[in-house]
């Protein structure tokens, strides 16, 4: 029999551990226990689940998920839970003598982290102090801990919303005024040219082609109106389709007429004879994101609304039943007409609609009509911020940056597309920030196993190294101010949400013109190579909601703007430059050296460099299209990293520098289909696994393309 004294000590110890666990759980719960709500128990934190060793998310009693918390807090929750469970188990064992054990020492002494000295991790702390310090992790600083709702926290959030509403709007006003002032010289130059009876647009590189396409759109608009008046079927085929080899009735537009400039990918898909269905995808930290699927309505039956809902936070589930939603006709399946799936992911402040705004010259529509099964992935929040538990006003809704987008969003999108198509791999095409989150996710410290799900990663304007634009005054201002001041100016919620308010208020044409001027001023873009008649449409799909924390990662003091790289510190970058200069010297002196000695020294150097590689042997093949006139990112430096074999496991199957292209020209230039789209189509098919090449429809103009070796 147990000694009564020992039983009392064990009960006291268990009660103490339970109290500590309860307090830690309340700190990380969706809602505090002092708020009278029948759902409180169901949304109490019960466990921290680690997506990667450095990316914990909180699971609640009802199976819900809450976003990232500081690593120490997650470890403390699991430690206390293990102690409670361990004490409960020991209490059932006769003869257990609770006294001088390791468990007792950890309960009575210091835990994993001395929380009393870390004020920033306390949920009731003033939010000004509840932020990561200015000097934290050089690449991915820890995110703050805001805790569950309380009166004090709500007041603090209200304060930040007020200050950021005023200051961020003032910042936006300065940007708008700056863009207006820089437009004045251009306006007078155009006026001067017109006074000499010349057309200023005649200097544009695609002037004649722009006039031709404008005339075609006018003719199609009139034809659509005539058909509508007669009430007949719309079967007018576009000249571009005929030039690409389409039959006249293969893709029949079901929308047409004058473009109303709407933020609707489905509408623009129907204008070119395609259509779109929207899926909801839940990430492992509870965000609900949009996944758009393009299809030919003559070949495919859309899924039901119930089927397209989110399925919970588990990705790549094992022993999953075949959930393929392919509604292609049985005859097409038997004749080898399955389409290989590809996923497209967009850039910063954009949505996947950026791939769909150029009619048949849109990359997404071009690849869909070429014979691929095209899926368009959007990042968290987007146009309609959604979370399984959190509301818009909760600061935890916006507590994420590029790390979470890569580690959580991309896997969720990949998982749903593969589940719906019943494939084990797909082709991935990303632009700008979409490439960033992929390069981050595939790193050997993050989720390298994702590489086994990707047949090829096509990176358009890859955003890994910073370009010269990062030194502009208004961007440098964001880097100079402290993290605390950044939150005072831009808040702890969405980044300048007034931009989205303007999007909903202003007419499409005015918003498109304003959007172009502002973003052109910010990022040094021009529309020289775009179809000017479609320019206003291009900006209907941007901007979207992003977190202020995410923008702080891009532009703040301790992250990308300072390090100038997404996976290496500034010091590592300088060391890399020194190595390149040294190697260039030895290559230049090769004529005076023994070839064998030079080869041996080179192999030793590359082996040493390989130990600092970002990727392991699970990384998929890469294909890169670099914009040569891109001031925002430095794609040449990334190519040099691969050429100098700093990544021994990376196989670059294709690379190209388009000297005249700017950052968005890879998507929107009038010749982008010829210079980018057709090559992407070919690379995607060359890298398709052999077992899928036998059962999938061969994309148009890829019949003679052979797969790459290796």
Question: Among 675, 674, 676, 682, which residue's Cα sits nearest to residue 706?
Answer: 682
Q: Report how far residue 227's alpha carbon sits from residue 495's, in angstroms, rounded to the nearest whole number.
A: 45
Cα–Cα distance measured from residue 604 to residue 29, given in angstroms and rounded to the nearest whole number: 52
End-to-end C-alpha distance for the chain, whole angstroms: 69
Name which residue leads in pLDDT, 610 or 461. 461
Residue 89, number of CB atoms within 10 A of its CB:
10
**Given this model, what pLDDT does residue 329 score?**
47
Query: Binning pLDDT at 50, 70 and 90, where does residue 706 land?
Result: low
Arithmetic mean of pLDDT, 106-124: 37
Our CA dihedral for 494, 438, 555, 390, rounded to 10 degrees, sits at 20
Question: pLDDT at residue 565 above 50?
Answer: yes
Say if residue 543 is preceded by a cis peptide, omega within 30 of 0: yes
Weakest-pLDDT range from 68-77, 126-135, 318-327, 562-571: 126-135
Round to whole Å and give the CA distance between 617 and 68: 28
Cα 478 to Cα 490: distance, rounded to the nearest angstrom: 10
> How many CB atoms are located within 10 Å of the residue 1 CB?
6
Could you tell me which of 293, 284, 297 has the C-alpha nearest to residue 324? 293
In percent, how much of the chain has pLDDT > 70?
80
Of 282, 284, 285, 287, the closest CA to residue 308 belongs to: 282
Residue whose pair of structure tokens reads 């914009």 in the numeric block:
627
Contacts from 481-487 at CB under 8 Å and sequence distance 24+? 481/557, 482/134, 482/557, 483/131, 483/132, 483/133, 483/134, 483/552, 483/556, 483/557, 483/558, 484/128, 484/131, 486/548, 486/552, 486/556, 486/557, 487/127, 487/128, 487/131, 487/160, 487/164, 487/548, 487/552
Long-range contacts for 529-532 (Cβ within 8 Å, ≥24 apart)?
529/205, 529/206, 529/660, 529/661, 529/662, 529/665, 529/668, 529/669, 529/670, 529/671, 530/665, 530/668, 530/669, 530/670, 531/206, 531/210, 531/213, 531/358, 531/361, 531/670, 532/201, 532/204, 532/210
Can you tell me the distance from the alpha carbon of 353 to that of 290, in angstroms, rounded to the nearest whole number?
11
* CA 376 – CA 281 distance, rounded (Å): 12
Q: Which residues of 476-492 are buried (b: 16+ CB within 10 A; e: fewer)?
A: eebbebebeebbbbbbb
Q: Judge contact between 423 and 341, C-beta under 8 A.
A: yes
448 three-state secondary structure: helix
Rounded Cα–Cα distance for residues 201 and 186 (Å): 12
Catalytic-labelled residue, pool 432, 455, 547, 672: 432
At 213, list the tokens: 């396409």
The tokens 């919620």 sit on which residue?
493
Lowest-confidence range among 32-36, 78-82, 327-331, 443-447? 327-331
Residues 6+ apart with CB under 8 A from 305: none
Q: Picking from 43-57, 333-347, 365-379, 494-508, which range would have the lowest pLDDT averaged per residue?
A: 333-347
What does the pLDDT read at residue 2? Answer: 55
Do 615 and 638 form a contact (C-beta atoms < 8 A)?
no
For residue 454, what are its two tokens?
């990707």
Q: What is the mean pLDDT of residues 82-100?
A: 58
pLDDT by residue (tens digit) across 521-559?
888 889 999 999 999 999 999 999 999 999 999 998 888
CB 35 within 8 A of CB 358: no
Lowest mean pLDDT among 106-110, 222-226, 489-493, 559-563: 106-110
Q: What is the pLDDT of residues 17-71, one digit of tens each?
A: 888 898 899 889 887 655 555 555 678 899 999 998 889 999 999 889 999 888 8
Please compute the mean of the pLDDT values over residues 372-387 and round it to a whole number. Answer: 96
Does 42 participate in catalysis according to the annotation?
A: no
Q: Check residue 243 and give its pLDDT.
A: 47
Q: What pLDDT, on the 0 to 100 scale, is given for residue 97? A: 43
Q: Which residues contact 208 (CB under 8 A, 6 or more apart)?
A: none
* pLDDT mean over 154-169: 93
Give, as one character, the DSSP assignment of residue 674.
Answer: I
- Indicate whether 110 pLDDT > 70: no
| pLDDT computed for residue 191 by the predictor | 86
- Contact indicator for 602, 645 with CB cutoff of 8 Å: no
Q: What is the pLDDT of residue 472?
A: 84
User: What pLDDT, on the 0 to 100 scale, is given for residue 665?
Assistant: 97
CA-based nearest residue to 644, from 596, 585, 589, 583 = 583
Cα 482 to Cα 134, 407, 487: the distances in Å are 7, 27, 9
DSSP H or E segment with residue 404: helix 402-404
Which helix (H) or strand (E) element contains residue 330? helix 330-334
Residue pLDDT, tens place only, 242-275: 444 444 468 899 999 999 999 999 999 999 999 9
Mean model confidence pLDDT for the chain: 84
Averaged over 657-679, what is the pLDDT? 97
Higher-pLDDT residue of 19 and 276 is 276
Helix (H) or strand (E) holding 234: none
Average pLDDT of the segment spanning 390-398: 94
Look at residue 688 and tell me whether its pLDDT is greater than 60: yes
Cα–Cα distance measured from residue 84 to residue 90, given in angstroms and rounded to the nearest whole number:
10
Q: Could you tell me which of 148, 449, 127, 412 has the C-alpha nearest to residue 288?
A: 412
Catalytic residue among 630, 634, 665, 672: 630
Q: Residue 576: pLDDT band by 50, 70, 90 thresholds?
A: confident
Q: Is 507 left (phi over 0), alpha (psi -120 to 50) or beta?
A: beta
d(CA 544, CA 351): 7
What's the pLDDT at 274? 97
- Write out pLDDT tens, residues 286-328: 999 999 999 999 999 999 999 999 998 999 987 655 444 455 5
Global pTM reads: 0.88
Question: 396 vs 579, which has greater pLDDT?
Answer: 396
Please give the pLDDT value at position 651: 97
> Choosing from 259, 663, 665, 672, which is the catalytic residue?
663
% of the chain at pLDDT higher than 90 = 57
Mean pLDDT for the stretch of residues 216-234: 81
- C-alpha 352/C-alpha 122 separation (Å) is 38
Q: Is 630 a catalytic residue?
A: yes
pLDDT value at residue 109: 35
- Per DSSP, what are the bridge partners of residue 338? 696
**What pLDDT does residue 385 have?**
96
pLDDT at 673: 97
Q: Pick the residue with more confidence: 571 or 277?
A: 277
CA distances from 379 to 244, 452, 497, 666 (A): 32, 22, 16, 20
**Is pLDDT larger for residue 658 or for residue 586?**
658
* Distance in angstroms (rounded) separating the CA atoms of residues 90 and 255: 70
Mean pLDDT calculated for residue range 201-214: 92
CA distance 386 to 409: 13
More confident residue, 61 or 126: 61
CA-CA distance, 70 to 74, in Å (whole number)? 7
Contact yes or no for 67/285 (Cβ under 8 A): yes
Q: Model confidence over 593-638: pLDDT tens digits?
A: 555 544 554 555 555 666 789 999 999 999 999 999 999 999 999 9
């Amino acid at each position: 029999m147990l000694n009564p004294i020992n039983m009392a000590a064990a009960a006291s110890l268990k009660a103490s551990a339970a109290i500590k666990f309860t307090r830690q759980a309340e700190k990380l719960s969706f809602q505090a226990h002092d708020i009278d709500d029948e759902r409180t128990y169901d949304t109490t934190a019960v466990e921290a689940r680690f997506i990667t060793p450095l990316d914990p998310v909180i699971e609640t009693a009802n199976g819900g998920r809450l976003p990232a918390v500081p690593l120490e807090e997650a470890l403390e929750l699991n430690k206390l839970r293990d102690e409670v469970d361990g004490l409960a188990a020991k209490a059932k064992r006769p003869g257990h003598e609770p006294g001088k054990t390791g468990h007792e020492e950890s309960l009575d002494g210091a835990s994993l982290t001395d929380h009393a000295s870390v004020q920033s991790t306390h949920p009731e702390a003033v939010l000004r102090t509840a932020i990561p310090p200015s000097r934290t992790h050089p690449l991915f600083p820890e995110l703050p801990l805001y805790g569950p709702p309380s009166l004090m926290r709500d007041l603090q959030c209200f304060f930040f919303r007020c200050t950021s509403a005023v200051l961020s709007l003032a910042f936006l006003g300065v940007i708008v005024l700056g863009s207006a002032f820089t437009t004045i010289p251009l306006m007078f130059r155009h006026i001067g040219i017109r006074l000499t009876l010349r057309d200023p647009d005649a200097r544009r590189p695609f002037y004649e082609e722009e006039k031709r396409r404008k005339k075609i759109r006018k003719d199609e608009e009139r034809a659509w109106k005539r058909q509508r008046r007669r009430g007949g079927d719309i079967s007018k085929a576009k000249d571009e389709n005929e030039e690409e080899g389409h039959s006249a009735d293969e893709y029949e537009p079901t929308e047409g007429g004058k473009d109303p400039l709407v933020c609707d990918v489905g509408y623009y898909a129907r204008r070119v004879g395609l259509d779109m269905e929207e899926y909801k995808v839940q990430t492992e930290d509870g965000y609900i994101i949009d996944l758009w699927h393009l299809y030919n309505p003559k070949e495919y039956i859309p899924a039901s609304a119930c089927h397209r809902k989110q399925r919970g936070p588990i990705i790549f589930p094992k022993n999953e039943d075949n959930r393929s939603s392919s509604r292609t006709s049985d005859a097409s399946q038997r004749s080898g007409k399955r389409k290989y799936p590809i996923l497209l992911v967009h850039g910063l402040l954009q949505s996947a609609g950026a791939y769909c705004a150029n009619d048949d010259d849109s990359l997404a529509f071009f690849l869909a009509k070429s014979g691929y099964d095209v899926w368009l992935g959007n990042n968290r929040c987007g146009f309609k911020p959604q979370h399984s538990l959190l509301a818009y006003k909760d600061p935890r809704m916006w507590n994420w940056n590029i790390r979470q987008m890569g580690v959580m969003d991309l896997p969720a999108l990949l998982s749903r597309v593969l589940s719906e198509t019943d494939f084990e791999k797909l082709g991935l095409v990303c632009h700008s920030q979409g490439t960033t989150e992929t390069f981050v996710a595939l790193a050997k410290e993050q989720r390298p196993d994702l590489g086994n799900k990707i047949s090829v990663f096509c990176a358009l304007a890859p955003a890994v190294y910073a370009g010269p634009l990062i030194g502009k005054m208004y961007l440098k201002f964001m880097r100079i101010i402290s993290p605390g001041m950044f939150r005072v100016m831009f808040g702890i919620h969405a980044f300048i949400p007034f931009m989205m308010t303007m999007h909903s208020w202003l007419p499409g044409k005015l918003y498109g013109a304003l959007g172009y001027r502002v973003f052109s001023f910010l990022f040094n873009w021009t529309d020289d190579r775009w179809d000017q008649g479609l320019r206003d449409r291009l900006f209907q799909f941007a901007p979207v909601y992003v977190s202020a924390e995410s923008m702080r990662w891009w532009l703040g003091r301790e992250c990308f703007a300072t390090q100038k790289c997404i996976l290496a510190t500034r010091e590592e970058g300088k060391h890399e430059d020194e190595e390149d200069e040294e190697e260039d010297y030895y290559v230049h002196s090769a004529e005076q050296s023994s070839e064998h000695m030079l080869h041996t020294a080179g192999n030793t150097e590359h082996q040493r460099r390989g130990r600092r590689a970002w990727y392991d042997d699970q990384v998929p093949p890469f294909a890169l299209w670099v914009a040569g006139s891109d001031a925002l990112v430095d794609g040449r430096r990334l190519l040099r990293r691969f050429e100098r074999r700093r990544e021994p496991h990376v196989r670059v199957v294709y690379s190209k520098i388009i000297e005249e292209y700017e950052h968005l020209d890879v998507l929107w230039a009038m010749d982008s289909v010829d210079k980018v789209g057709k090559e992407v189509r070919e690379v995607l098919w060359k890298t398709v696994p052999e077992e899928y090449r036998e059962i999938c429809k061969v994309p148009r103009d890829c019949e003679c393309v052979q797969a790459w070796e290796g």
